[in-house]
């Protein structure tokens, strides 16, 4: 089937009545961490055939797309975000043929397929870096960020790595330092170099021609540095904990260069030459909102940006939600946001935001709130089951950041544990062998098969809520016409055309009576015993005005 025919098939299968809206506006995207989704060959590590075998589960949720974290050839020192070949599949995950099969099956089920692209750095085992480091005079000598030592032999600047320690490593072969904003095995590409940009656009074209429907672009604000290599100034005093040297600086010069949007425009020009492609940038850091808007402005940049507003928040509060939404008003030329409460880099939300005995009620309120936000929403695998953070012992850790900063950094491994499919099966039905990370007994009890058999499960509730979002234009792509926080009460008003929906959430520990003006209308959904006139603890209600 050619690409155009395949896209027509997907559109008809999705049955979305959005008028002129693109498919991705308001979409629900399901993130898959391939190492931990389903193992098909008994080696304890998830793979592409395993994902393909479980696509029916994802389609049953009512999501629009999947986003698959890196599966490219890699030494796996940062578990795929250190790419050694952008255009091939690492053998632990399968083959390119396996990927083609996955795409075909996803499209049959009406699921779009997004994949990660890592444009800021590669692995030090990438052929590009091997050539670049071989001498100061070769075709790829300027493809990475190299610099001479200072007269005293110290690094060229004071820049620090996200994972701890200096962002520069000495290379005796070149007789220079190379930059790495993450691990020393992840050398920084020189995004200023037109040849590098061309090569990265070629990577995108390779996957677009294979039928992918879009990209999540990793760490995009790290794509270019200050060529003058000026030192970063110290960060002002803060009451936020500082566990890494990286936290002690204002990151003015090692990232966020003003030329990044021009490169983004080249990415957009490429994706616009295909049909229905969606692009979303991962943007973190102190100036995330400013950069997210620059990266998505107008019709010549990316479609959306993926913020960290909720991913590391210790508490979910009405003020946090209102502040996040206020950054993205429905204004001409302003980009479209994407939201997530969980992902592969952040501790599970239920472990951060509520006590263990509150998780069942809180999970429902949280899911309804996510579905009520303006923008795209991203579900992380297992979020539909209410998975929690697994406590991984030090001797079983794989996450290099957690190992380096033990015990002060919460392990990313604890959110990357395998999906539990069958409560009574060995390894939860994830694998026939011991998994690369333990499932955790608490999560194994939340297995898919157990929740499938329970019409009151969080899994059933997730399907219900996503169908509700999909069938109400005000929730799917409407503006936020009002938002307010009053103590523990969050009040949102979403509007599209003639439809207005008020969403009320009680994030406090006591019952709240909403203002009279917010109670009028028809209740279309309520959770945890809520009504228009009374919101118990973690109660929530949607009212069509």
Query: Which CATH number is 496's domain given?
Result: 2.60.40.1180
Give the domain-ending residue among 446, 469, 492: 469
State whether 462 and 509 are in the same domain: no
State whether 465 and 482 are in the same domain: no
Cα–Cα distance, 411 to 397 (Å, whole number) = 8
State whether 533 and 512 are in the same domain: yes
Q: How does residue 11 score in pLDDT terms, banded at 50, 70 and 90?
A: very low
- 49 domain residue, yes or no: yes
Q: What is the pLDDT of residue 114?
A: 98
Q: Percent of the chain beyond pLDDT 70?
A: 96
State whether 242 and 297 are in the same domain: yes
Q: What is the pLDDT of residue 58?
A: 98
Q: Over 90: is that where the pLDDT of 341 sits? A: yes
State whether 384 and 483 are in the same domain: no
Give the domain-ending residue among 469, 497, 528: 469
Q: Phi-psi region for residue 105, left (φ > 0), alpha (ψ -120 to 50) or beta?
A: alpha
- 379 domain residue, yes or no: yes
State whether 336 and 418 are in the same domain: yes
Whether 124 is catalytic = no
pLDDT tens-digit readout, 119-151: 999 999 999 999 999 999 999 999 999 999 999
Q: How does residue 16 score in pLDDT terms, banded at 50, 70 and 90?
A: very low
> Among 210, 215, 14, which Cα is nearest to 111's?
14
**pTM of the complete model:** 0.95
- 155 domain residue, yes or no: no
pLDDT tens-digit readout, 170-181: 999 999 999 999
Cα–Cα distance, 368 to 18 (Å, whole number) = 21
Tokens of 502: 């008020």
Q: Over 50: is that where the pLDDT of 314 sits? A: yes
Q: How does residue 455 score in pLDDT terms, banded at 50, 70 and 90?
A: very high
Which residues have CB under 8 Å from 103's CB, separation 6+?
Answer: 113, 210, 211, 212
pLDDT tens-digit readout, 458-479: 999 999 999 999 999 999 999 9
**φ/ψ of residue 262, rounded to 5:** -65, -35
Q: Which helix (H) or strand (E) holds 215?
A: strand 214-218
Burial call 94-111: b when 16+ CB within 10 Å, e when fewer: beeebbeebbebbbeebb
Q: Name the strands in the sheet holding 176-179, side by side, starting at the edge strand that comes first in the sequence.
A: 146-147, 176-179, 168-171
State whether 424 and 505 are in the same domain: no
State whether 398 and 519 are in the same domain: no
Apex 367 CA angle, 365 and 372, nearest 5: 95
Q: What is the pLDDT of residue 287?
A: 87
Residue ranges of E strands in 273-346? 278-282, 304-306, 336-340
Distance linking the first and last C-alpha atoms of the chain: 45
pLDDT tens-digit readout, 361-412: 999 999 999 999 999 999 999 999 999 999 998 888 888 888 877 877 667 9
Q: What is the pLDDT of residue 409?
A: 66
Cα–Cα distance, 332 to 140 (Å, whole number) = 41
Instruction: Give the single-character DSSP code of 214.
Output: E
State whether 69 and 94 are in the same domain: yes
CATH number at residue 284: 3.20.20.80
Q: How does residue 19 score in pLDDT terms, banded at 50, 70 and 90?
A: low
Give the domain-ending residue among 451, 469, 487: 469
Query: Locate tokens 């959005």: which residue?
Result: 18
pLDDT tens-digit readout, 235-269: 999 888 888 899 999 999 999 999 999 999 999 99
pLDDT tens-digit readout, 68-106: 999 999 999 999 999 999 999 999 999 999 999 999 999
User: Which entry of 218, 345, 399, 493 is annotated as an active-site residue?
Assistant: 218
State whether 343 and 372 are in the same domain: yes
- 297 domain residue, yes or no: yes
Residues in a beta bridge with 135? none
User: Which entry of 39, 124, 282, 399 is annotated as an active-site residue?
Assistant: 282
Which residues have CB under 8 Å from 23's CB, separation 6+?
Answer: 11, 14, 16, 64, 112, 276, 278
Q: What is the pLDDT of residue 516?
A: 96
Q: What is the pLDDT of residue 70?
A: 98
Across 147-167, average pLDDT: 96
Burial call 188-210: b when 16+ CB within 10 Å, e when fewer: bbbbbbeebbebbbebbeebbee
- 145 domain residue, yes or no: no
Query: Locate tokens 């250190």: which residue?
Result: 82
Burial call 12-49: b when 16+ CB within 10 Å, e when fewer: eebebeeeeeebbbbbbbbbbbbbbbbbbeeebbbbbb
- 454 domain residue, yes or no: yes
Q: How does residue 40 score in pLDDT terms, banded at 50, 70 and 90?
A: very high
- 132 domain residue, yes or no: no
Q: What is the pLDDT of residue 82?
A: 97
State whether 495 and 453 are in the same domain: no
pLDDT tens-digit readout, 507-526: 999 999 999 999 999 999 99
CA distance readout (Å), 131 to 6, 141, 146, 368, 404: 40, 7, 13, 51, 29
- Determine the length of the chain: 545
- 520 domain residue, yes or no: yes
CA distance readout (Å), 79 to 119, 122, 168, 383: 16, 12, 21, 21
Whether 209 is catalytic = no
State whether 459 and 493 are in the same domain: no
pLDDT tens-digit readout, 214-243: 999 999 999 999 999 999 999 999 888 888
Looking at the 3D structure of the chain, how many domains does it have? 2
Q: Which domain holds residue 497?
A: 478-544
Residues in a beta bridge with 115? 68, 215
């Amino acid at each position: 089937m050619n690409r155009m025919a395949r896209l027509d098939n997907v559109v008809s299968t999705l049955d979305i009545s959005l008028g002129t809206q693109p498919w991705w506006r308001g979409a629900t995207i399901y993130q898959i961490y391939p190492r931990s989704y389903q193992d098909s060959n008994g080696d304890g590590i998830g793979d592409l055939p395993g994902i393909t075998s479980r696509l029916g589960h994802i389609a049953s949720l009512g999501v629009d797309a999947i986003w698959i974290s890196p599966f490219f050839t890699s030494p796996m020192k940062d578990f795929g975000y250190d790419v050694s070949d952008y255009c091939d599949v690492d053998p632990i995950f399968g083959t390119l043929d396996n990927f083609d099969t996955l795409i075909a099956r996803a499209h049959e089920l009406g699921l779009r397929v997004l994949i990660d692209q890592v444009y800021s750095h590669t692995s030090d085992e990438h052929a590009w870096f091997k050539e670049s480091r071989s001498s100061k005079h070769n075709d790829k000598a300027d493809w990475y960020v190299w610099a001479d030592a200072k007269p005293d032999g110290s690094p060229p600047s004071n820049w620090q790595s996200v994972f701890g320690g200096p962002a520069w490593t000495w290379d005796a072969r070149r007789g220079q330092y190379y930059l790495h904003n993450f691990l020393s095995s992840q050398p920084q590409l020189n995004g200023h170099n037109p040849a590098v940009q061309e090569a990265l656009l070629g990577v995108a074209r390779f996957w677009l021609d294979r039928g992918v429907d879009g990209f999540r672009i990793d760490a995009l604000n790290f794509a270019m540095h200050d060529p003058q290599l000026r030192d970063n100034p110290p960060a002002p005093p803060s009451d936020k904990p500082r566990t890494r040297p990286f936290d002690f600086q204002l990151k003015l010069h090692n990232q966020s260069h003003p030329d990044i949007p021009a490169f983004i425009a080249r990415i957009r020009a490429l994706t616009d030459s295909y049909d229905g492609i969606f692009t979303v940038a991962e943007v973190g850091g102190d100036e995330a909102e400013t950069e997210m808007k620059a990266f998505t402005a107008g019709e010549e940049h990316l479609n959306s940006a993926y913020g960290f507003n909720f991913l590391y928040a210790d508490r979910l509060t009405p003020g946090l939600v209102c502040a996040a939404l206020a950054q993205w008003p429905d204004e001409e030329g302003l980009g479209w946001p994407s939201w997530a409460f969980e992902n592969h880099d952040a501790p599970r939300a239920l472990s951060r935001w509520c006590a263990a005995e509150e998780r069942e009620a809180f999970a429902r309120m949280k899911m309804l709130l996510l579905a009520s936000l303006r923008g795209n929403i991203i579900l992380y695998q297992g979020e539909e089951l209410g998975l929690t953070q697994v406590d991984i012992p030090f001797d079983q850790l794989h996450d290099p950041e957690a190992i380096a900063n033990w015990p002060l950094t919460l392990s990313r491994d604890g959110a990357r544990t395998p999906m539990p499919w069958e409560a009574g099966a060995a390894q939860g039905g994830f694998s026939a062998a011991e998994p690369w990370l333990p499932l955790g007994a608490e999560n194994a009890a939340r297995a898919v098969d157990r929740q499938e058999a329970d019409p009151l499960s969080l899994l059933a509730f997730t399907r219900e809520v996503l169908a509700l979002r999909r069938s109400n234009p005000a929730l799917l792509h409407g503006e936020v016409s009002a938002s307010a926080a009053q103590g523990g009460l969050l009040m949102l008003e979403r509007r599209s055309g003639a439809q207005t929906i008020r969403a009320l959430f009680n994030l406090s520990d006591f019952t709240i009576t909403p203002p009279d003006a917010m109670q009028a209308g028809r209740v279309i959904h309520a959770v945890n015993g809520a009504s228009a006139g009374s919101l118990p603890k973690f109660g929530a209600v949607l009212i069509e005005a």
